[in-house]
Chain A
Amino acid sequence: MIAITDLQKIYRMGDVEVRALDGVTLDIAKGEFLGIMGASGSGKTTLLHMLGLLDIPTSGGIEIDGTDVSLLNDHEKTMFRLYKLGYVFQDYALVPDLTVMENVSLPAMLRKDLTEKQYHDASIDILTKIGMLDRQDHLPRELSGGQQQRVSIARAIVNKPDILFADEPCANLDTENSRMVLDLFKEINEEMQQTIVMVSHEDWHKEYFHRIIRLQDGKVISDGTTGTKAH
């Protein structure tokens, strides 16, 4: 599903060079629920950005579903993100001028394969699941961090993307809500063979992952399957 070869990302700021990713090679299979762990600054977000086509690697290749993404132009990348990918940002990244409902349905509204009723129903459905339906007409600034995070998750999965990238989606949630989110991820992963790549700090999240890779200084230092079975 996703093939990453010798991925490098170097940030240059004046004389200082930060190797955020330093030769990552990785294959992610379809239907896999992958956990990425590692210390702060180890390159987790950077890796996810590259995979989510939000940034361009310094060198190395990414192939998703057989497509070499470096060959896509701006518009094609946008369409790729719209139809195939879902992304939960570490800082939620909700659109400040739009209500919860509008934020969640926005990507669905642009899809040519969905009718207004379809995406409306899907948005209601997902907001119900994450317990935010009663806040559907609120603006992001009227919500708590955890609530914004849940809305961001709803927006990422409402389109039922083939691949979901989630950057610490539970960072601001209590255990109860974290479980709810992880159960939701597990459900869509099992039902629809959706591939999920999730960054996490919490040890207990491991029980949901099929496989965990650990990053340190931009390198993969461990890669192993957990007891949890892939389907």
Chain B
Amino acid sequence: MGKKELKVAFLLALRSLQRGSRSSVILTILIIGMCFTNMIFLPGLFNGIGQSITKQVVDYEIGNVLVSPKSGDQYVSDLGATLSLINGMPGVERATPHFTKGATLKYRQRILGASVRAISPNDEKSISPLYTKMIAGSYLGQDDTGEVIIGKPVAGDASIRQEDEFQSSLGGVRVGDSITIDYGNGYVKDYRVKGIYFTGWSQADSAVYVTSTDMALVDPKAVDNADYITVKAKPGYSETFIKNELIQYGVSQKVQTTSDLLAKSMGRALQSFAIINMVSLIVSIIITTVVLFIVITIKTINSRRQIGILKAIGVDKEVIMHNYGFQVIILGVLGIILGIIVTLGLAAYMAIHPVVTPEWSATLYITPMDLLVNSVILFCAAVVAGYVPAYQVSREDIQTAMRA
């Protein structure tokens, strides 16, 4: 095939699309576009959910790397030494301990169970964007005692009657109010609500935060012990790098990356996502292939006489085959472009209106690589679907074709 042949094949393809049935061209492009969207939408949504869960777990729970007690121990002990060791390592943005106690909150007539998380506010700022999520009052100061910040669902809304609440709350706590925290074992303490926050991550929103300094007064173990240490990586450092580094430097606790933990806890869910993604991919490919096969087959059947004429005046069968090939390529490319536009439109819409559940919120997460890979897959399917009938019809002998 030389340049001239390809040029003629392209001209024939273009003319056939221009002067053939307009509606069939538009419908074909539409179907390919929708198949593309279908191929990429669900995986993109699942990725978005995964990304959003990961981000919230990193932001509000455990950072990038979690250092937890080695088996048999209840706490990460020798806290001061371990923290300064970790904080001195390259690639570590900040490490900070969490100490959590279950407790009962009391406000007026309301009682609510919640976990009280003791943090070191200054360090926590380097790890978690919680301090940016205050909707009333302010964040904890480093050495605040007798002060607490609480999640919006914990604070509740005074205008909603208790029996109408979706999630139990303290029924409308406001900044400055006093709440009582009963830690059990007879340890009860009153706190002033310094701030109310809302993150969208239900685990964090249904907890309350006090400072480590305050917790040390409640439970002396909190001075040199932690339930776990969260470690935030500097940009450009991978979780695995930090994890290996920690182990190498002799951190004797259990060290896990967030990805490891999520893979363990969400393994089943990820597997189901993978199956759903695969099904939507295969269905899209099959629909595209079948539609294009039918469209091109009908085209070739309807233009058998034309094919005969072309051969009779000296147009080679390769040119005739590529004519249909080009038609499929043009339809496929236009369909894929439509699909990309629709997908990006959906992604833009969902960035503004994410899918929100009480547990997490998610947008469509699609990378340029996803677009590229799916385009290539769909394009290949289209080419195969078009060339098979094109190959068959281009081989027909002139007399049979011309009399058709």
Chain A residues proximal to chain B, CB less than 8 Å: 49, 52, 54-55, 74-75, 78-79, 81-83, 85, 87, 89, 93-98, 102, 106-107, 109-112, 139, 155-156
For the complex, is B315 an interface residue (Cβ under 8 Å from A)? Answer: yes
User: Who on chain A is nearest to B3 by CB?
Assistant: A112
For the complex, is B306 an interface residue (Cβ under 8 Å from A)? Answer: yes
For the complex, is B49 an interface residue (Cβ under 8 Å from A)? Answer: no
Q: When the two chains form their complex, are residues A97 and B20 in contact, meaning their CB atoms are under 8 A apart?
A: yes
Are A93 and B312 also in contact (CB < 8 A) when A110-B4, A112-B4 are?
A: yes
CB distance from B396 to the nearest CB of A (A): 11
**Which residues of chain B are within 8 angstroms of A109 by Cβ–Cβ distance?**
4, 7-8, 11
Q: When the two chains form their complex, are residues A93 and B8 in contact, meaning their CB atoms are under 8 A apart?
A: no
Within 8 A of A (CB), among B311-328: 311-317, 319
Q: When the two chains form their complex, are residues A74 and B317 in contact, meaning their CB atoms are under 8 A apart?
A: yes
A218 to B82, CA, bound (A): 107
**Which residues of chain B are within 8 angstroms of A85 by Cβ–Cβ distance?**
314
Residue-wise, chain B 6-24 has the 8 Å CB interface mask toward A (1 for contact) of 0110011001101110000
For the complex, is B330 an interface residue (Cβ under 8 Å from A)? Answer: no
Residue-wise, chain B 284-327 has the 8 Å CB interface mask toward A (1 for contact) of 00000000000000000000001011111111110100000000
Question: Known contacts A78-B317, A98-B12, A106-B313; can you find 11 more A-B pairs with CB under 8 A?
Answer: A49-B399, A75-B317, A78-B315, A82-B314, A82-B315, A95-B306, A97-B19, A107-B315, A110-B4, A110-B315, A110-B316
Residue-wise, chain B 241-267 has the 8 Å CB interface mask toward A (1 for contact) of 000000000000000000000000000
User: Who on chain B is nearest to A141 by CB?
Assistant: B19
Are A110 and B19 also in contact (CB < 8 A) when A75-B316, A87-B312 are?
A: no
**Which residues of chain A are within 8 angstroms of B2 by Cβ–Cβ distance?**
112
Chain B residues proximal to chain A, CB less than 8 Å: 2, 4-5, 7-8, 11-12, 15-16, 18-20, 306, 308-317, 319, 398-399, 402
**Which residues of chain A are within 8 angstroms of B311 by Cβ–Cβ distance?**
78
Q: When the two chains form their complex, are residues A54 and B312 in contact, meaning their CB atoms are under 8 A apart?
A: yes
Cβ contacts A to B, 21 pairs, < 8 Å? A49-B399, A54-B402, A55-B399, A75-B317, A78-B311, A78-B314, A78-B316, A78-B317, A87-B313, A93-B308, A96-B306, A97-B18, A97-B19, A102-B15, A106-B315, A107-B313, A107-B314, A109-B11, A110-B4, A110-B5, A112-B2
Are A79 and B314 also in contact (CB < 8 A) when A94-B309, A95-B309, A109-B4 are?
A: yes
**Which residues of chain B are within 8 angstroms of A107 by Cβ–Cβ distance?**
313-315
Q: When the two chains form their complex, are residues A79 and B402 in contact, meaning their CB atoms are under 8 A apart?
A: no
A52 to B309, CA, bound (A): 13
User: Who on chain A is nearest to B11 by CB?
Assistant: A102
A79 to B312, CA, bound (A): 10
A109 to B4, CA, bound (A): 7
Q: When the two chains form their complex, are residues A81 and B306 in contact, meaning their CB atoms are under 8 A apart?
A: no
**Which residues of chain A are within 8 angstroms of B18 by Cβ–Cβ distance?**
97
**Which residues of chain A are within 8 angstroms of B8 by Cβ–Cβ distance?**
106, 109-110
With a 10 A CB-CB cut-off, give which of A78, A83, A102, A155 has the most chain B CB atoms: A78
A89 to B2, CA, bound (A): 28
CB distance from B321 to the nearest CB of A (A): 12
A201 to B306, CA, bound (A): 27
With a 10 A CB-CB cut-off, give which of B314, B398, B402 has the most chain A CB atoms: B314
Q: When the two chains form their complex, are residues B15 and A97 in contact, meaning their CB atoms are under 8 A apart?
A: yes
**Which residues of chain A are within 8 angstroms of B19 by Cβ–Cβ distance?**
96-97, 139
CB distance from B52 to the nearest CB of A (A): 51
User: Who on chain A is nearest to B309 by CB?
Assistant: A93
User: Who on chain B is nearest to A96 by CB?
Assistant: B306
A54 to B5, CA, bound (A): 21
A111 to B313, CA, bound (A): 12
Q: Can you list the 3 inter-chain pairs with the closest CB atoms, starting with the nearest?
A: A82-B314, A81-B314, A93-B309
CB distance from A62 to the nearest CB of B (A): 16
**Which residues of chain A are within 8 angstroms of B308 by Cβ–Cβ distance?**
93
